[in-house]
């Protein structure tokens, strides 16, 4: 999606959105390799924060007319589905760790 952003955004919004998107699965993977559920949760919370950034940057890109309403709807659906799955994972790990 970011390939169609203006060239002047390459080191701005394009870079930020891509980094946030890459960060979600990266944090989940890194957390799963940790020795404790507490550490795993820490990385899951960071993944959730990155996903929230993706949501905001998508909103901003729409307001700046870098993406159209069809792309926005598709992205929102993907973000929502990912958030739901991540939330479920967080709840399961919290339950297993006795955190909540």
pLDDT tens digit sequence for 12-70: 999 999 999 999 999 999 999 999 999 999 999 999 999 999 999 999 999 999 999 89
Q: CB of 45 within 8 A of CB of 17?
A: no
Q: At the top level of CATH, which class does the domain 11-97 belong to? A: mainly alpha
What pLDDT was estimated at residue 1?
Answer: 87
> How high is the pLDDT of residue 14?
96
Residue 12: DSSP 8-state = T
DSSP, collapsed to helix, strand or coil, labels residue 1 as coil
**pLDDT of 100 strictly over 80:** no
The ranges assigned to domains in the chain are: 11-97
**pTM attached to this predicted model:** 0.91
DSSP assignment of 16-67, as one string? HHHHHHHHHHHHHHHHHTSSSHHHHHHHHHHHHHHHHHHHHHHHHHHHTTSS
Q: Tell me, what's the pLDDT at 37?
A: 93
């Amino acid at each position: 999606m970011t390939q169609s952003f203006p060239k002047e955004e390459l080191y701005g919004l394009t870079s930020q959105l891509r980094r946030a998107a890459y960060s979600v699965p990266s944090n989940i993977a890194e957390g799963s390799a940790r020795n404790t559920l507490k550490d795993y949760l820490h990385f899951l919370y960071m993944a959730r924060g990155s996903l929230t950034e993706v949501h905001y940057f998508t909103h901003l890109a729409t307001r700046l007319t870098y993406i159209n309403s069809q792309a926005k709807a598709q992205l929102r659906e993907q973000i929502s589905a990912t958030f739901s799955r991540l939330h479920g994972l967080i709840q399961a790990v919290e339950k297993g760790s006795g955190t909540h």
